[in-house]
């Protein structure tokens, strides 16, 4: 008997630290960790103690005898990881955790501002708290009246287990050395210059909440939207809550095939009765109830080997009740010589994903809504007179490159795919902050190990740091932000120890008192209680507030009730 890592693995790696036999891999000290889709438990070494399950912040680790039928496939996936050459070359005994990276502040205060309260910002705060002591003061700034960023507005509403990560984030905010300021926006309520004057270090963790565009004809037609906007809409983000999406159509096309694309496809295809058990925004539930969609097509311009979604995400979609998942790959696809060559050279995790794709039906089912994974289709133009009616696609395929290796290229054919709703899911971009260097082409802040770098001088800006998507681009899973934050915090502490910080010219207290009345941790907890109570009344986990003024009103009402 053994424990098994399942679909909801967030790569937080808290499980790695507590395993007494060191059988969970790859861990944060291994090179493969930064690109791993999930972690794996070696069934031949696991002693079934359950320590990892207790430590997992999202409930992704389950004893094999307690698995739900939909998760049984993960028994083989965990075992297969360790059947690769060299994957069992680890010492089956947990090494004692080293604390030599802790920094004694020695009476010198370290004042840190963190902009953003999503996973990146919370992991940065957590790492600072663990590696320092008294004398640390962290102020976290969030422009909305609710924290958690991606964990609240990016994680799909039916992935409630993944959202449990916010419990550990809340423990971080509970620390007396942390102050939360909600409703404070950089470049509106205070500036980068203000922050640098009042803090030894400023860490930007404000994410990437704008989408990349395709740059093709017809992209601006009504009915063409970004998947980012759609996901933020159904998750109740205040910036997108009032958008309208026309679901009175038979088919939707999603351009791009990353995890967000599969999330959106699942939400569009899923039975609304199931979604009522999620924390989806009420307005989205009502709209989806009226949906006429029968098919959702997920387009990838290259083949299964280059599919951007992860194997766990695919497995989750495949096991969702009421959805007929299939692929329109030809029946003889596996026999293609170039495809076999490319498959043989691919990493193990990619081969596992391709095998799962090839196991899918090659024809649509006549029952329920269907999700079709379509490969080798590149968008050329969106078509329609008054609104989107379809998309012209260039057919691509594998060919030999100059070095003889398989590459994807257009083969000269085009096809037309009818659709009344088109969602582009081709990446996210950050937004610039006045006074902070920004790489417009990449949509992120230039940096070296988290130190913000001026591209004109190629020198680091003293006391200015970055973490998360705004640092590295939209890559990785939730737990990837933990390692990313650790690198940034290491740079902060190294600079502090070397005496490169501490040029404060303004009092932090004066800055905080000059800010507009917003909210704090107590205000968030009041909003949280209100949402949970509203959900309890209708049999849901919570009913989200989606407008800033409603959040502020709920916070004040709850606080007044407590005071009374």
Asked whether 528 and 536 are in contact (CB, 8 A), the reply is: no
Q: How far is CA 6 from CA 23, 30, 317, in A?
A: 15, 20, 13
Q: CB count, 10 Å around CB of 282?
A: 17
**Lowest mean pLDDT: which of 220-229, 472-481, 554-563?**
554-563
Mean pLDDT on 315-337: 90
How do residues 81-117 score in pLDDT, each as one tens digit?
999 999 998 887 765 554 457 787 777 789 999 999 9
CB 300 within 8 A of CB 250: no
Residues of the chain with CATH 3.50.50.60: 213-425
Q: What is the mean pLDDT of residues 370-374?
A: 97
Q: Are 493 and 132 in contact (CB under 8 A)?
A: yes
Question: Taking 50 as the threshold, does the pLDDT of residue 270 lie above it?
Answer: yes
Q: What angle do CA 374, 375, 379 make, to 5 degrees?
A: 90
Q: At the topology level of CATH, where does 110-209+430-519 sit? A: Rossmann fold (3.40.50)
What is the spatial order of strands in the sheet that 377-383 belongs to?
377-383, 390-400, 406-418
The Cα angle at residue 231 between residues 228 and 236, in degrees rounded to 5 = 120
Interatomic CA distance for residues 427 and 40, integer angstroms:
27
421 close to 447: Cβ distance less than 8 angstroms: no
Any alpha helices (H) in 332-430, and if so which ranges? 337-345, 348-358
Provide the pLDDT for residue 94.
63
Q: Is the pLDDT of residue 293 over 70?
A: yes
Q: What is the pLDDT of residues 415-449, one digit of tens each?
A: 999 999 999 999 888 999 999 999 998 899 999 99
Query: 140, 114 in Cβ contact below 8 A?
Result: yes
Residue 503 has pLDDT above 80, yes or no: no
Mean pLDDT of 366-392: 94
Beta-carbon contacts of residue 494 (< 8 Å; ≥ 6 apart): none
User: Does the pLDDT of residue 195 top 90, yes or no?
Assistant: yes
For residue 26, whether the previous peptide bond is cis, meaning omega lies within 30 degrees of 0, is yes
- Residue 561, pLDDT > 80, answer no
Domain span(s) for CATH 3.30.70.20 in the chain: 3-81
Q: What is the pLDDT of residue 406?
A: 76
pLDDT of residue 516: 85
Report in angstroms the alpha-carbon separations of 163 from 168, 333, 342, 507. 10, 38, 37, 36
As a whole number of angstroms, the distance between CA 490 and CA 101 comes to 8
Report the DSSP beta bridge partners of residue 240: none
Classify domain 3-81 by CATH architecture: 2-Layer Sandwich (3.30)
Comma-separated ranges of CATH 3.40.50.720 domains in the chain: 110-209+430-519
* pTM score of the predicted model: 0.93
pLDDT at 409: 84
Q: What is the CATH number of domain 213-425?
A: 3.50.50.60
pLDDT, tens digit, 9 for 90 and up, residues 124-157? 999 999 999 889 999 999 999 999 999 999 999 9
Nearest to 279 by CA among 9, 59, 531, 6: 531
Please tell me the predicted confidence (pLDDT) of residue 403.
80
- Give the number of C-alpha atoms closer than 13 A to the C-alpha of residue 72, restricted to the C-beta side: 4
417/142 Cα distance (integer angstroms) = 42
Query: What is d(CA 157, CA 234) in angstroms, rounded to the nearest whole number?
Result: 8
The whole-number pLDDT of residue 339 equals 80
Query: What is the residue-averaged pLDDT of the chain?
Result: 92
What is the share, in percent, of the chain residues with pLDDT greater than 90? Answer: 79
Give 407's pLDDT tier (boundaries 50, 70, 90): confident
Q: What is the DSSP string of 82-109?
A: TTSTTTT-S-SSPPPPP-TT----TT--
Tokens for 340, please give them: 């076999």
Of 250-259, 276-285, 290-299, 475-484, the range with the lowest mean pLDDT is 475-484
Torsion, Cα of 27, 31, 37, 43 (10° steps): -50
Q: What is the pLDDT of residue 99?
A: 46
Tell me the mean pLDDT in the region 266-277.
96
Helix (H, G, I), strand (E, B) or coil at 408: strand
């Amino acid at each position: 008997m053994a424990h098994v890592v399942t679909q909801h693995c967030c790569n937080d790696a808290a499980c790695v630290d507590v395993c007494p036999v060191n059988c969970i891999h790859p861990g944060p000290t291994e090179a493969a960790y930064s690109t791993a889709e999930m972690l794996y438990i070696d069934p031949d070494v696991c002693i079934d103690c359950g320590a990892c399950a207790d430590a997992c912040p999202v409930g992704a680790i389950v004893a094999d005898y307690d698995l739900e039928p939909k998760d049984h496939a993960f028994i083989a996936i965990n075992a297969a990881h360790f059947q690769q050459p060299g994957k069992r070359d680890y010492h089956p005994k947990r090494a004692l955790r080293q604390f030599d990276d802790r920094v004694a502040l020695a009476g010198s205060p370290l004042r840190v501002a963190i902009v953003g309260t999503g996973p990146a910002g919370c992991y940065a705060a957590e790492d600072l708290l663990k590696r320092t002591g008294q004398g640390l003061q962290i102020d976290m700034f969030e422009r909305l009246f609710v924290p958690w960023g991606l964990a609240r507005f990016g994680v799909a509403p039916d992935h409630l287990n993944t959202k449990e990560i916010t419990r550990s984030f809340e423990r971080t905010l509970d620390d007396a050395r942390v102050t939360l300021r909600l409703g404070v926006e950089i470049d509106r309520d205070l500036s980068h210059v203000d922050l640098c004057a009042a803090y030894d270090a400023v860490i930007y963790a404000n994410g990437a909440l704008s989408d990349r565009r395709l740059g093709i004809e017809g992209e601006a037609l009504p009915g063409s939207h970004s998947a980012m906007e759609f996901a933020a809409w159904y998750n109740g983000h205040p910036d997108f809550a009032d958008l309208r999406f026309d679901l009175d159509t038979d088919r939707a096309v999603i351009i791009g095939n990353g995890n967000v694309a599969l999330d959106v496809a699942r939400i569009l295809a899923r039975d609304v009765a199931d979604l009522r058990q999620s924390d989806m925004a009420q307005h989205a539930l009502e709209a989806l109830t009226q949906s006429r969609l029968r098919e959702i097509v997920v387009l990838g311009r290259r083949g299964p080997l280059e599919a951007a979604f992860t194997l766990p995400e695919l497995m989750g979609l495949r096991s969702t009740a009421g959805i007929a998942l299939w692929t329109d790959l030809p029946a003889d696809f596996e026999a293609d010589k170039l495809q076999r060559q490319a498959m043989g050279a691919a990493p193990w995790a990619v081969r596992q994903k391709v095998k799962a794709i090839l196991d899918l039906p090659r024809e649509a089912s006549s029952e329920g809504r269907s999700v079709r994974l379509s490969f080798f289709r590149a968008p050329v133009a969106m078509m329609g007179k008054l609104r989107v009616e379809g998309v012209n696609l260039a057919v691509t395929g594998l060919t030999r490159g100059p070095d003889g290796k398989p590459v994807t290229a257009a083969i000269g054919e085009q096809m037309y795919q009818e659709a009344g709703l088109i969602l582009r899911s081709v990446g996210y971009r950050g937004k610039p902050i006045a006074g902070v260097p920004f790489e417009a082409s990449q949509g992120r802040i230039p940096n070296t190990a988290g130190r913000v770098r001026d591209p004109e001088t190629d020198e680091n800006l003293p006391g200015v740091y970055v973490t998360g998507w705004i640092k590295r681009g939209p890559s990785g899973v939730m737990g990837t932000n933990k390692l990313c934050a650790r690198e940034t915090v290491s740079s902060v502490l190294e600079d502090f120890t070397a005496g490169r910080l501490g040029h404060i010219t303004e009092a932090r207290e004066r800055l905080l008192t000059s800010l507009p009345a917003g909210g704090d941790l107590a205000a968030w907890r009041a909003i949280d209680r209100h949402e949970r109570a509203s959900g309890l009344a209708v049999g849901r986990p919570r009913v989200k507030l989606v407008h800033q003024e409603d959040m502020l009103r709920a916070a004040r009402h709850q606080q007044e009730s407590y005071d009374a």
